[in-house]
Amino acid sequence: MSVSGNEVDVSYGSILRVRRVDEEADRIWFDRRDGASGWFRRSLVDNVEAGQILYFPNEADDDNTVKLLSEEDWLVRGGDVATVSLISEDGSTAVLELNGRLQTFAQRETKPFIKGQTIAVDVDGRPGPMLSSEPIDRFGRAEDDLDPASFVVDPGDVTLADFGGSRALVERALELARVALDPEQRLQQIGVNPVKGILFSGPSGTGKTHLARVLSKEIGTRFYLVDGPEIINKWVGESEQRLRSLFRHAEEHAPAILFFDELDSIVASRGDDAPEYASRFVGQFLTALDGFEASHGVLVIASTNLPGALDSALLRPGRLTFKLEFEGHPSPEDRLKILQASARGVRGAEHANWRVLVETTDGWSAAELAMIWTEAGVFAVVDERDELCAEDVAAGLVRAARNRDVSRRQEGRK
């Protein structure tokens, strides 16, 4: 059974996104996941609005009403795969795990589902041919031996005093982290939405990773440092499995901060030109954010230099809800605080001319400011001394400025 719309077959069992409701023409215009579009009569569905995602039931569905789906249901695309997790006792239905979500389908009359199979998924999210008789995480490769514990790192000997950026930003981050990881979960007792995720955005070198480490040290949590190359794998489904294992491990060893460095490199915005594995991984990341409970003692913090490149679904309420922006160009007052904080523990730093350092470094990032002390230390070691002198700091400033200029020129050629 089907309805026709603009020469596009809208088969029952299809998932459609409503593009426009034309009351005058009595039409609902839609887009399909395979890129096709069309329309059908408004009389088929009541109270439809643009942007909604609809599921037209197939003949095997118990409920024959058109259903309103969530945004996550739109993520399934051709090329996805699913694992058969369960067959009902009477054999009439099968439960498939797809992008980290469980979905129920009617058992097939020909080539019926068998528990453990890996199944291809077509553009409408319906099961297709069998790819393997084994689960996807054992398909064509050895077992993944990446231990989630390998992402746990020591935040280091850092304190709030070591972060020389905006005090308002630090206080806001600390406030959110403490509320999110409150062992008594008083926010939940009040009955308001929990703090589950924070996004740090700003140019490189502004202290995003450093502040995440400081928060972990200050509150006393495990600190998971995750970057793209460590978690992304070429095997279909393995990256998603790693992500699920990582979230589970953090919950089992709470309180914990899961810090995703340069998030845009692994969960960039989905689109027609996005590779299939990237869309699957974004879907799994969204599912992981939605699936864990704030009461389990895990806070997700992510950093990005390119907030506009992130998939918009990540920034919706209940996910990376709270956004803290790191300024690329600290004020003179902040530059002084950063210089003094990064010099804490540096022998001979008291010989520095702070006024000259602040006035000379307009537009420098926190990381660039900290390099002054490293370059000064090089001069001292070459001169076989174990303490800085004023000349070392002055020479370190010149060397750091030269390196900064070279880096900026190289970035401009990219």
* 143 lies in some domain: no
Q: Do residues 245 and 102 share a domain?
A: no
Q: Do residues 152 and 226 share a domain?
A: yes
Q: Is the pLDDT of residue 393 over 90?
A: yes
Give 4-16 pLDDT, tens digit per residue. Answer: 444 344 555 667 7
Q: Pick from 217, 160, 166: which is nearest to 366 by CA?
A: 166
User: CATH number of the domain that 394 lies in?
Assistant: 1.10.8.60
Q: Do residues 208 and 278 share a domain?
A: yes
User: Token pair of 120, please?
Assistant: 């291809």
pTM above 0.85, yes or no: no
Q: Do residues 245 and 310 share a domain?
A: yes
Mean pLDDT of 268-295: 65
User: Token pair of 155, please?
Assistant: 């935040």
Q: What is the CA radius of gyration of the chain?
A: 27
- Range of 396's domain? 332-413
* 352 lies in some domain: yes
* 75 lies in some domain: no
Q: What is the pLDDT of residue 360?
A: 93
Q: Do residues 232 and 289 share a domain?
A: yes
Q: Do residues 286 and 173 share a domain?
A: yes
Give 9-49 pLDDT, tens digit per residue. Answer: 455 566 777 888 888 888 888 877 555 677 888 777 778 88
Q: Do residues 130 and 165 share a domain?
A: no
Domains in the chain, number: 4
Give 190-229 pLDDT, tens digit per residue. Answer: 877 788 899 998 887 778 888 999 999 999 999 999 886 6
Show which of 38, 69, 100 is a domain's final residue: 69
User: CATH number of the domain that 130 lies in?
Assistant: 2.40.50
- Residue 78 makes CB contacts below 8 A (sequence gap 6+) with 33, 34, 121, 122, 123
Q: Do residues 276 and 129 share a domain?
A: no
Q: Are 243 and 281 in contact (CB under 8 A)?
A: yes
Q: Do residues 234 and 351 share a domain?
A: no
Q: Do residues 209 and 275 share a domain?
A: yes
Q: Do residues 86 and 27 share a domain?
A: no
CA 173 vs CA 199, 361, 410: distances in Å: 10, 26, 33
Show which of 302, 325, 348 is a domain's final residue: 325
* 74 lies in some domain: no
